[in-house]
Structure 1
Amino acid sequence: MKDAVFSIGVASYAAGLIAFLALLAVLLTGWRGRLQGGLLVLAVSGSALWALVLLLGAAFPGFPPWLLQVAESLRFSAWFAFLAGLIRGRDGVHFSGGRLLQVLFHGLALGLVLLPWLPAVLTSLLPSKSLYIGYLLLAVLSLWVVENLFRNVRSEARWGIKYLCIGLGGMFAYDFFLYSHAVLFGVLDAMFWDARGAVNALVVPLIAVAAARNPDWSLDVFVSRRMVFHMASLSGAGAYLLLMAAAGYYIRVFGGEWGGVLQILFLFAALLLLVALFFSGHLRARLKVFLSKHFFNYRYDYREEWLNFTRTLAGCRRESDPRVCVLAAVARIVDAGAGILWLRRDDRYVPIAHWNASIPVQAEEPPDGPLALFLAEKGWVVDLRELAQSPERYSGLGLPEWLKQQDAAWLVVPLLDAGELLGFMVLLEPLAPLEIDWEVLDLLKTAAVQAASYLGQLEALEALAEARQFEGFNRLSAFIMHDLKNIIAQQSIIVRNAARHRQNPAFIDDALGIMEHSVAKMSRLLELLRSGPGDVRPTELDLGRLLEEIVEERSVEAPAPAFSNEAGSVLLYADRDRLRAALRNLVHNAQQATHSVDREGRVTVRMEREGESVRILVEDNGCGMEESFIRDRLFRPFDTTKGDTGMGIGAYESRAYVRSLGGDVQVWSQPGKGSRFEVLLPVPEMGDNASVVEKGEGA
């Protein structure tokens, strides 16, 4: 039996030592040098030293008893000094005779330490139980100081110290019980003595909570809400299991021959109920509200809330409907079980997403309606329960009929992005009753701003994707219009010269050739509209011959371009019509650039080899271009200097297609002197899907 008590005592005081050392470490890291915080550090250090000495006393039977007395007196004195300092510095506490009481208390504690060394003449005058009576008096005085502290603090200030008073009051009450029992029976009860370490360990969380609630102690104590929540859950589960085990024991004892079976059924049902409770959202929400209300300065751990919220928003892009994800993220901040999201579409706010709720009938809201105007102007979170009880607080707010019919509606949260009402959320009743105060409103407003920014970006991205689809369609239309413009220009040349050259057989031949080319191009455009640009497959073509055709076609307009081929016959795979249009645009632009100069215009087209590439040079002596124009406007689509006669896509289309072939277009120009466009195209080696025939080869 002694061994069992001995082992229990070691475990008990070890638990107390670990608990006080952990609290001491937290306090030391947060201490900022103020006196009251230092007294708390001293008191906790005294308790840690006390637990260590009594641990050694439990582990080693021959441990000196006078060290135990020193540890006892030191612990009492340290906590009394902290409480006395707290009384002196606490606003609203009126306590007289404090200094005299401190002298008497510390004197008694010191006397108990010196008691073993007093002369026999003096000890004979003292009662036989004087040591127990002395510590009993210390416990009584400590309890009186705790009671005095709590009673004399103003009622509104008790919130900050009530857990300290509960913890220390319980600790000193246990000491009172221990030493009063020793005074009555003349000996310390071993079981009560050994349990004392674990009893003191249970007080540590209450002291930590009190320290976290009192920043005026100059202690930056952080008590993790998540840890408190899990500890409370585990403690509740442990107490529940103990009660169920006790109930099962009595069922087995008094259940007769069915006792064993009934016990098994009872314990299995109890475990199932415990698991169900752990997964209960309502129970978890109620526990979080209770802990936040009674254990912390603020209802929310803002860092944790914000990190969870931003992580949720960051993951919304992976969801099938990101708007539902955003709605749920805001709703979970206040443990709302459901919600509906309205966003602006054209001239109305319409329900876009819903989470655990159904969308009301005819729930659209006009921008000039009373609800939308109030949310846009005030930016308030509307508590519908408060609105029903005190409508004067929301002056000017009128609820639409569809919202009045929603009995479960709780909060209306505006979504303001850059000062404009992007939309709003209606959150339904929470899982656990929640009092709406400034913390809830501020957190919801902040989260709503972030959610509105996210939804605004999402709307902009979707609008951009839609615009890109239209852009592709419009670009195709623009390219077609560009080709039609060129066809019309060619036909116009025939019409203008028909009266003068209709008897000229050469003119008739050229006209027929241009018309044949126009028919082929129109047919090609119709095929492109039916099938789309992606269905066109490249074909093998002779680049030199293609350039000759382009030069010959553009020779009908002055100045007629001159062509020189220094690369021979170059074969490559490309879309003949698109490459022809790209190169033809460059030649045509060069001809037009010479029309605005007084001197005789000149346009040259030259093709030459450069390694595994072919270079096409289109040069003119026209008006030239500024460097800024080349950099900022030349290759920008739909930017033209030709007024109504130009589409602004010729140069853009030329470079875009050349780059799609792996090549590039470079430009050199000088205002008043002319320009040079250089087209560089890669030519695959022999054996690839294209070949190069060197100059003179095959002739």
Structure 2
Amino acid sequence: MPTSTAAFSYASAALAFLFFCLLLLTAWRQRPHSPVLAMASLTTVVWGAVMAWVGLEPQPALLVHGAELLRDGAWCATLLALLGHLRTGIGKHRSRTVTAIAAFFLLLFVGTLASPWMPHLVGFHFTVVGRLGLAVLGMLLVEQLYRNRGVQERWAIKFACLGIGAMFAYDFYMYSDTLLFRDLSEELWAARGVVNALTAPLIALSLARSESWPAQIAVSRRVLFHSAALVGSAIYLLAMSSAAYYLRYVGGSWGSLMQLVFLFGATILLVGILFSGTFRAWLKVFISKHFYRYNYDYREEWLAFTRTLSQQGPGLGERTITALGALVESPGGALWIRRDSGKFESIAHAHTMPQTACEPADSALCQFLEQKQWVVDLEEYERERTLYGEMELPAWLHAFPRAWLVLPLLLQGRLFGFVVLQEARSPVTLNWEVRDLLKIAGTQAASYLAQQEADSALMLARQFDSFNRLSTFVVHDLKNLVAQLSLLTANAEKHRDNPEFQRDMMETVDLSVQKMKLMLQKLSRTASPERASPLEIGPLLAQAVALKAAFEPRPLLEIGQPGLKVLAEAERLERVLGHLIQNAIEATSREGRVTVRLSRVGEAVQVEVSDTGCGMSEDFIRERLFKPFDSTKSAGMGIGAFESREYIRELGGQLQVRSKVDQGTTFTVSLPLYRQQSIEQAA
């Protein structure tokens, strides 16, 4: 029923609530209950604009019904928020109430979409009865809101109840008249916009008294986020439905097909947008920036952060990166932790490539993080380098993909580690609030990581204690064996011509040898190690390979440069290299190949032990290969690889591993070249 009067009436309602919405987003922005009222006012602005458009020229009935449903739903959600029904942790009764109301709206929404295909009389009754039901629901919620408040609170909230209740009461009267006379009154329809416009000052007056409103009116960011997504989706679907109706109207015989294809494509697009991490991040930032005084709901953020770190199972490093990144919408990054070697090593990564770079604890970056305790913004560093003094970023950080923030993990004023986060999905302004939150979150994450490191060290100490107890038992057995052999020696002179004694002696000696062999297999370290001395590594490798000559495949030795010396203990270094060669042989089939190469790389001696065996996965290398007392062999104790790496580190070298499953493994031992030899060669 297009009339200029109706257009003016609904336009006045749109302008009144637009002005009220602007007040809520600006001057009254800091009030705890303004976000939900702003959302309802904004939907009323959209509703008034649509109805004013309908007053000027006819529009699809689907658009009108959708706008009505959107406005009523927004104000019902506002009343539920004021009643406290949308808070987290509500009781079962309130939860059932919200579920029932949501189901009612869903039924009306589905019926609205299906109304063009209903018979006229059925569609008319469904629409009018549904509008009456919404009006009754709104008046009931208003009555509950007013009745459940004290005298002082009623003084503050009564005008809001009067204004919102007036909107639903007028709708009830108008749709009751429509149901009675089977026709919508033009006068009632035209006056409805002005009536709604007059309710805006009443709600604003009540908001001016909002100091006495109860605290539970505040709406959480989660509710507002989902409400904004729902309202946006509803507006989008209304627009797409209108466009689809237009396509059906102008498409002729192809109209129905074009309408269905268009609606399907629009729905797929909407689902893709709603499931987009970038869109969700942008919406969260937008809501926090425009509806709240602070960027974060600290209760929700801290609960989520602590919950992520406290999860059971491995992967604390990855969870730490994820939890810190979630605070600034970062998709991933990498974590470095200080080790006993005095370097920060990367132990975890999330949604990025593994990082092999190590950062010395005395580097400019680590000293800056520990002394200043700043969150380093790499974009700010490039723009305003003077803020960071003489600090220079390492080369590996420049090569880190999409690096954005370097976050220190401080423990008792000392730099325990740091996290490099990638660029955020949505632009985030690094103000004082964001920086403070990241620093305190980093401190808590450092405590969790330090506890894990302490637990691992304690477990390792207990395992070594068990190993020492095992050594005690072995020493006891050795003492018994020595006693038996001593007894044989004492009686040998007396009974050496007795054949029966000779048989017993041989049997005893044989059993003693077998027992000692088993003990030696369990014990791999001598009680009094030799001191390190200059050692030519070529003959040592030749001896280690010769001891394995009886095995298959037989290892091959390639010496690229003879005469190379290192400072080490011959027995321990031979045992380490022999262990690597033995592992390579055991991991390779008889038809495979095991190669030992000796070469010089700069000022280092490099030994490579490579095989074509079964190989190892990255997870196995990272989590199990060098873990003491963790072995895949039935008779192994799991300390060979750990001992090898620790001894190589004691010599100032490195033990690196490259492996691919079903392709082979290469262990690379790098040891410092003996300096005296380097001086002689230079001379």
Q: What's the TM-score, normalizing by structure 1?
A: 0.47
Larger CA Rg, structure 1 vs 2: 1
Q: What's the TM-score, normalizing by structure 2?
A: 0.48
